[in-house]
Amino acid sequence: EAGVAQSPRYKIIEKRQSVAFWCNPISGHATLYWYQQILGQGPKLLIQFQNNGVVDDSQLPKDRFSAERLKGVDSTLKIQPAKLEDSAVYLCASSLEGTRGNEQFFGPGTRLTVL
């Protein structure tokens, strides 16, 4: 079974530029998550989708971050404009369902460096 795919794996941009990340979850997984992992910290949930609807985006900085999951399959996360503090690894994860206790499967992440 193929795992969660993410691209690109690495991205370097200047501050105030925009950037987009792509995620393809495991086939059949209804729930998709985007996390931000800053160096030295644990992952922090940015947004959680159930199919193509948003379940939780309480920690998403909506003035600069946006995410969509069209057709309930793959997803994109965008940052516009980027700030220095956005430098982090962005992890995508998926689970079969979004109910409590469901195992989340993680992709390898996209490492963003903002100069």
Partner 1 sequence: AQSVTQLGSHVSVSEGALVLLRCNYSSSVPPYLFWYVQYPNQGLQLLLKYTSAATLVKGINGFEAEFKKSETSFHLTKPSAHMSDAAEYFCAVNMNSGYSTLTFGKGTMLLVSP
Residues of this chain that interact with partner 1 (CB under 8 A) are 4, 31, 40-45, 48, 55-56, 91, 93, 95, 97-109
CB of 94 to partner 1, least distance (A): 11
Distance CA 13, CA 55 (A): 30
- Judged by beta carbon, residue 47 or residue 82, the one nearer partner 1 is 47
User: Residue 67: helix, strand or coil by DSSP?
Assistant: strand
- Judged by beta carbon, residue 6 or residue 19, the one nearer partner 1 is 6
CA distances from 42 to 13, 17, 47, 70 (A): 23, 26, 15, 28
- Judged by beta carbon, residue 91 or residue 114, the one nearer partner 1 is 91
Distance CA 80, CA 66 (A): 8
